[in-house]
């Protein structure tokens, strides 16, 4: 409403009035308005968010002062303490507040009134300061400070001084007469995520990323990692280390590096349990050029150094538990029988299973030895007529014993319905016992450790991918139903979270770390919640360009309305696993950010809307997601997608989507679950990633014989509308987005209403509105 000239009005969300009453309070309320106006002026592009908490700003209030009002007649009708004051006319300064005031024929009386008003003004200021200090709500003052900017010019992730650690390691290397020592990320089961006690590479280097290999010589320490971690490693490695950007053309392989740095016929040591058989053989072959060799050192040298500090955590020994068949969809005995059929095809009498997620899936059991991954330390050997589980007995309770029929075991050679239980450390002795007659073939995956594979002679070794990997990757109906259901609940938590963020970020209440904690709190309230599925990537502004950034108390910065905010997060539920990324802006993004976001989204949609032949490999699909970035000279340094387990590891093979060849990729099949996550990262500025989980289904095509596939969204979180450039989207893309948002409303919206989450539902209605 435009006020008439010659009058004074104010409007709030629930009133419009004109009045001369309460003149005794007008000056004091003017002070509140002046101060509030100064607060607002410090928030560029910010609009206040409603709050219903006592003592906080509640409703917007617009002031309009017209020409023709004499100064003595101006009446400032302001709302009660806590209202927001917004001036709508800006012509003449009046005590720091803009107003359009025309006054004529000022008399002595009017001058007296002005002076008297100034005296009252000063008294009101003093009164206001007194109230601010002593009113009860001052104990919890409005959370919105006068500044919400972040100085990131000197912001870096913390470095660890590794000088003494390297000195002690090199001393141990001399004792074992080796010229170099290799420290991979892997544990004895080649896990991507590892227990705290196995974080040897992190201890010796200070680099905390989930992928990397350290090589230490007498005079050099180098660390290899991939493009996800280039920025992070550069910030975390101290001056003792050289960063080797893995897979770039000029970066040497491990063997090439060692041949260059070491004298001929050198010995290079490593713990054989922490290096896969395929990696060990590859390095050994490259070292032959220089006459050097790999040396098996069963005592881990980093463990010796770490233990001397007294800081090495104890290995985990948590209990295991049974996952009900309503979630797994198949009895473990039937899974064992399926495995034996595959063994018969390979003429293998034993299959040695070392991957922890394969063991958990095979036996329908879960654990918590690895953070975020519901697995447990163990080995399994499946024979033609027996199944052996190697695990610390203290982890196995009576329920698990009944589940596996352990109490019914009989140590004979006939077929058995139960599982034989052995101590975890006995696996190597049992392997030696099995191969001793030298007439039984063992099936081992090349990704198993060198310590396991080296015990079997080549003529008895069946080298092939584990059959369990593909069985696990192709979900059955019960597993897919669980994945759909858990994503609805996950969408509820994320809708709550983003509604909360929109209200709190403009008040400067939120840091990267507190945002991650809040989201974990909201997810934990959902049914069947178990844990997070990985460390939440909560990254504001330039931290978003660190692809796998993890906020810590030292690195966490405020989330502001001036920067992009990237959130990559997920959860483990009894019935499924989630992994979703959204990038948002809580203020006004610039045109370049909006274009980058829209191009990343177009890549995400190109993957999602694509149809492709059955068994097409991921490298054939990767460019669909990059094309719209490539068109303007942009790209991203990571793969486009990975498999996701059903209540298991968030990164699951053997399939993947990326531009590099994956020799283990069997091709995409109906029932697999993968991610679709293109991105763009500008160092020192921002990062953008949009990630949806997708289930692969049979596609209906106009021609062909039905052997084509398509993707169906599991993730149910809207894209942020304000970051879109509609002109860059074609008609099909807009239709797809609108249909996707409608699906979010149907499923997540209903769940929000069922759970009576009104604020989150209002947020969802706003963000899922159709694009015109």
- pLDDT tens readout for residues 174-214: 999 999 999 999 999 999 899 999 999 999 999 999 899 99
Q: Which of 425, 445, 472 is the last residue of a domain?
A: 472
User: Looking at residue 121, what is its pLDDT?
Assistant: 64
Regarding whether 581 and 515 lie in a shared domain, the answer is: yes
Regarding whether 373 and 283 lie in a shared domain, the answer is: no
What does residue 482 show for φ and ψ, rounded to 5 degrees? -65, -40
Regarding whether 264 and 205 lie in a shared domain, the answer is: yes
Element (H, E) at 298: none
158 lies in a domain? Answer: no
Regarding whether 192 and 108 lie in a shared domain, the answer is: no
User: Whole-prediction pTM value?
Assistant: 0.79
Q: Which of 427, 453, 472 is the last residue of a domain?
A: 472
The tens digit of pLDDT for each residue in 385-426 reads: 999 999 999 999 999 999 999 854 445 444 567 899 999 999
Regarding whether 511 and 444 lie in a shared domain, the answer is: no
89 lies in a domain? Answer: yes
Confidence tier at 158 by pLDDT (50, 70, 90): confident
The upper half-sphere exposure of residue 460, i.e. CA atoms within 13 Å in the direction of its Cβ, equals 20
Regarding whether 244 and 376 lie in a shared domain, the answer is: no
Regarding whether 211 and 123 lie in a shared domain, the answer is: no
CATH of the domain at 250: 3.40.350.10
315 lies in a domain? Answer: no
Regarding whether 657 and 527 lie in a shared domain, the answer is: yes
The range of the structural domain enclosing residue 203 comes to: 163-309
150 lies in a domain? Answer: no
Regarding whether 687 and 662 lie in a shared domain, the answer is: yes
145 lies in a domain? Answer: no
Which carries the bigger pLDDT value, residue 144 or residue 704?
Answer: 704
Confidence tier at 119 by pLDDT (50, 70, 90): low
- Domain count within the chain: 4
Q: Which of 446, 472, 498 is the last residue of a domain?
A: 472
Question: From edge to edge, which strands make up the β-sheet containing 213-217?
Answer: 242-245, 221-225, 213-217, 180-184, 267-270, 293-296
The yes-or-no verdict on residue 154 having pLDDT over 80 is no
Question: What is the Rg, in whole angstroms, of the alpha carbon atoms belonging to the chain?
Answer: 32
CATH of the domain at 501: 3.90.230.10
Cβ-based neighbour number of residue 772 at 10 Å: 6
327 lies in a domain? Answer: yes
Average pLDDT rounded to a whole number, residues 132-141: 39
Closest CA to 31 of 142, 130, 138, 141: 130
- What are the distances in angstroms from CA 622 to CA 219, 493, 677, 691, 735? 41, 30, 10, 14, 23
Regarding whether 444 and 485 lie in a shared domain, the answer is: no
Regarding whether 337 and 252 lie in a shared domain, the answer is: no
User: Looking at residue 148, what is its pLDDT?
Assistant: 61
529 lies in a domain? Answer: yes
316 lies in a domain? Answer: no
The tens digit of pLDDT for each residue in 455-475 reads: 998 888 999 999 999 999 999
User: Looking at residue 80, what is its pLDDT?
Assistant: 31
Confidence tier at 155 by pLDDT (50, 70, 90): low
Which carries the bigger pLDDT value, residue 115 or residue 722?
Answer: 722
User: Looking at residue 612, what is its pLDDT?
Assistant: 96
Closest CA to 561 of 515, 518, 505: 505
The yes-or-no verdict on residue 645 having pLDDT over 70 is yes
Regarding whether 364 and 301 lie in a shared domain, the answer is: no
- What are the distances in angstroms from CA 720 to CA 47, 233, 372, 543, 596? 17, 31, 28, 20, 13
User: Looking at residue 695, what is its pLDDT?
Assistant: 98
Q: What is the largest CA-CA distance in the chain?
A: 118
């Amino acid at each position: 409403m435009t006020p008439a000239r010659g009058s004074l009005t104010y409007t709030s969300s629930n009133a419009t009035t004109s009045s001369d009453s309460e003149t005794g309070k007008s000056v004091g309320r003017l002070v509140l308005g002046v101060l509030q106006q100064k607060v607002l002026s410090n928030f560029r592009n910010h609009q206040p968010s409603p709050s219903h908490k006592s003592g906080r700003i509640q409703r917007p209030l617009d002031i309009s002062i017209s020409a023709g009002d004499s100064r003595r007649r101006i009446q400032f009708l302001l709302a009660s303490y806590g209202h927001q004051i917004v001036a709508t006319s800006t012509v003449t300064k009046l005590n720091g507040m803009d107003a359009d005031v025309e006054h004529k024929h000022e008399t002595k009386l009017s001058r007296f009134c002005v002076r008297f008003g100034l005296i009252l003004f000063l008294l009101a200021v003093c009164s206001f300061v007194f109230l601010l200090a002593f009113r009860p709500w001052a104990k919890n003052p409005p959370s919105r400070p006068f500044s919400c900017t972040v100085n990131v010019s000197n912001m870096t992730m913390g470095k660890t001084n590794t000088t003494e650690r390297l000195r002690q390691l090199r001393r141990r290397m001399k004792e074992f007469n080796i010229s170099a020592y290799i420290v991979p990320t892997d544990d004895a089961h080649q896990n991507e995520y590892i227990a705290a006690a196995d974080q040897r590479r992190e201890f010796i280097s200070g680099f905390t990323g989930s992928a990397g290999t350290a090589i230490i010589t007498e005079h050099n320490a180098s660390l290899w990692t991939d493009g996800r971690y280039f920025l992070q490693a550069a910030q975390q490695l101290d001056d003792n280390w050289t960063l080797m950007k893995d897979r770039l053309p000029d970066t040497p392989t491990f063997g090439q590096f060692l041949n260059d740095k070491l004298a001929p016929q050198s010995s290079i040591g490593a713990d054989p349990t922490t290096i896969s058989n395929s990696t060990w053989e590859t390095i050994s072959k490259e070292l032959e050029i220089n006459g050097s060799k790999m040396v098996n050192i069963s005592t881990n040298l980093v463990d010796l150094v770490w233990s001397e500090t007294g800081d090495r955590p104890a290995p985990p020994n948590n209990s295991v538990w049974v996952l009900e068949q309503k979630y797994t969809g198949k009895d473990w005995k039937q899974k064992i029988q399926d495995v034996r059929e595959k063994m018969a095809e390979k003429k293998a009498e034993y299959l040695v299973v070392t991957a922890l997620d394969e063991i958990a899936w095979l036996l329908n059991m879960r654990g918590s030895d690895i953070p975020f991954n519901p697995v447990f330390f163990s080995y399994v050997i499946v024979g033609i007529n027996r199944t052996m589980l190697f695990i610390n007995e203290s982890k196995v309770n009576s329920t698990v014993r009944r589940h596996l029929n352990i109490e019914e075991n009989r140590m004979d050679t006939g077929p058995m319905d139960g599982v034989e239980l052995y101590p975890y450390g006995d696996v190597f002795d049992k392997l030696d016992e099995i191969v001793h007659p030298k007439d039984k073939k063992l099936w081992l995956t090349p990704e198993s450790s060198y310590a396991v594979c080296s015990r079997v002679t080549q003529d008895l070794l069946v080298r092939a991918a584990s059959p369990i990997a593909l069985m696990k990757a192709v979900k059955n109906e019960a597993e897919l139903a669980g994945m759909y259901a858990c994503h609805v609940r996950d969408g509820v938590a994320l809708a709550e979270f983003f509604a909360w963020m929109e209200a709190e970020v403009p008040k400067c209440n939120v840091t990267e770390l507190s945002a991650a904690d809040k989201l974990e709190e909201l997810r934990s309230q959902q049914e069947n919640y178990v844990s997070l599925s990985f460390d939440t990537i909560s990254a504001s502004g330039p931290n978003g360009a660190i692809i796998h950034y993890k906020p810590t108390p030292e690195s966490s910065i405020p989330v502001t309305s001036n920067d992009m905010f990237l959130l990559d997060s997920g959860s483990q539920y009894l019935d499924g696993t989630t992994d979703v990324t959204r990038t948002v802006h809580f203020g006004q993004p610039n045109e370049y950010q909006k274009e980058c976001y829209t191009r990343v989204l177009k890549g995400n949609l190109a993957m999602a809307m694509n149809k492709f032949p059955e068994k097409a490999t991921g490298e054939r699909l990767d460019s669909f997601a990059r094309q719209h970035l490539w068109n303007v000279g942009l790209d991203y340094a990571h793969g486009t997608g990975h498999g996701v387990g059903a209540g298991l590891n968030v990164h699951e093979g053997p399939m993947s989507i990326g531009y590099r060849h994956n020799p283990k990729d069997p091709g995409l099949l109906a029932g697999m679950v993968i991610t679709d996550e293109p991105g763009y990262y500008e160092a020192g500025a921002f990062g953008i990633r949009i990630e949806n989980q997708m289930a692969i289904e049979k596609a209906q095509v106009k021609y062909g014989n039905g052997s084509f596939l398509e993707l169906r969204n599991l993730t149910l979180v809207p894209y942020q509308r304000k970051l879109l450039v509609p002109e860059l989207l074609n008609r099909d893309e807009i239709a797809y987005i609108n249909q996707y948002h409608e699906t979010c409303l149907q499923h997540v919206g209903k769940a929000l209403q069922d759970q009576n989450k009104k604020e989150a539902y209002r947020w969802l209605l706003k963000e899922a509105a159709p694009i015109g």
